[in-house]
Amino acid sequence: MKKIFITFGFLLVFYSITYAQTTAPFNVEGTWKVVGGEFLSPTPLPKSIAKQLTAYKELFFNSVFIFNSDHGFNFDIAIDEIKIQHGHWKYNADFNRYQIQEWADKDKDNSFLMFISVKREGDKTFFVLPTGDDLPKEFLIKLEVVKLME
């Protein structure tokens, strides 16, 4: 009987720790500058595509993600087509990612401009974004970001 209580106690503690880790989102509030990045692909890329992606990746360097405390969102980047002003961000615990949408659509769950997952590796923070419709869906953009002092 004692073993059952010990096992149950261990499982309860383990579940509590695991649940807390998966439901507590990373605090993204603030201004984040891109300082590096890479494309992630499950298969080797042809050289022509790799060259295009390298040029595309360079455009992300020095871009800035702004997550305001009122859930306002801005993405300042050299590519006007993907620049976002007056956006809205919210955390989706089911997918463990941040969903970016137009401010006017903030109360809707079917209109999104961008999805951002946050990964921590040691003392580094990365924003991981799916690529656009022009690349296979298994490609991801992994951007190393640093939080700017405010």
Domains and CATH numbers, the chain: 29-147 (2.40.128)
Name which of 82, 57, 126 is nearest 49 in CA terms. 57
Question: In this predicted structure, what is the pLDDT of residue 103?
Answer: 96
Show the tokens assigned to 98: 């941040």
Handedness of CA 21, 25, 27, 32 (dihedral sign): positive
Indicate whether 111 pLDDT > 70: yes
The residue type of 85 is: Q
The residue type of 109 is: D
pLDDT, tens only, 16-72: 333 434 456 889 999 999 999 888 888 887 888 788 777 778 888 999 999 999 999
- Hey, is 134 helix, strand or coil? coil
Question: In this predicted structure, what is the pLDDT of residue 83?
Answer: 94
Show the tokens assigned to 4: 């059952």
What single-letter DSSP state applies at residue 60?
H
Which residue reads 């993600």 in tokens? Answer: 65
